[in-house]
Structure formats: structure tokens, C-alpha cells
Structure 1
Amino acid sequence: MMSPAEARSIVEALAIGVDPLSGELLSQHAVLRQPEVVRALFLASRALEAALRGDEERENGEAAPAAFVSSVVAASRRRARALAA
């Protein structure tokens, strides 16, 4: 199973236009280089980072940033609905 840290690394590489497996730059014409897709990938990266911080905070006995994670998830759902329409 993939960890959130590994997933974030892959999503971050895609967001900056790099093939996460080969390290090569993606073609300018690749769908992953389209502005809307890049924004979605950065949003996903931030959500994974928030989840990682939440895991660390729970391990340290601190409250998780549930409101932030919920707002990121809600924003990504709104964005997906808008793109699908």
C-alpha cells in the first residue's frame, strides 16, 4: 500500500511537469500540463500534506486540522463538478 507521503511525492512531480517514475519532463501537450489539471494536482498535493500534518499531530496528541482538510476536500469536489459541467 502506498503511503500519503509517497502519493504526495508523485502528485507533486506531476504538478511540476515531471514524470515521477523516469524524472523526465512531460510533453507540453500532455493533459497533465494543462492549467486546470496542474491546479488540481497542486490542490491534491496540499490536501495530502494536510493529511500528513494531521497524522503527525495525532501522533503527538494534538488536534488534527479537520476543518482545513474538509475545506480542501469540499473545494476539490466543487472544482471537479465545475470541470465536469
Structure 2
Amino acid sequence: MAHMIGLNYKRPYVRHGRRYYKPYRSYFCAALSGPDYEALRKLERRGFVESGKPGEKAVYFWTTRDGLDWLGRQLNVQIHDPKN
């Protein structure tokens, strides 16, 4: 999920001793036959991601506000997304 929001490319910034991050994306395209697809379906059942209409070979997943909050708690980062 960190890859979905670009956290593996950009680092959180620190202000007043707390870590913050503003995602520059919130989606991931997973192949229908890959391990990422199964992991994202599990996260979807928990309400952390939403999926689009499956294509011929792949499906897009987007993070939800609950998913960003959960990920932030796991990584000890306040994730701010103006869309959510």
C-alpha cells in the first residue's frame, strides 16, 4: 500500500517532531493473476482500498481514507490527502 501512494519514492517530511506525507498518487494497477491482486482484494474486504472494473488482464485499486489512516498508523506517519 505504501507503493500505491508513492511512499517508496518520496520520503515523509518532519515538522515539530512528527512525520507527515502528502501522496502524489493513490492507485495501483494489479495483474489479475499476480500476488498483488490477492493482497489488494484482502485489503478491499477490510475497506482500505476500492477497485475499479476489471479489465482483460488487470484491475485498478485506489486507497480510501480508512486505508490511508490505517497505513499511517502502521508507519507512524500522518498522511494528508486533500481528496479524502
TM-score by length of 2: 0.28
Q: Give the number of the structure whose residues are more often strand, by fraction.
A: 2
Larger Rg: 1
Which fold has the larger relative contact order, with Cα–Cα distance below 8 Å and residues 6 or more apart in sequence?
2
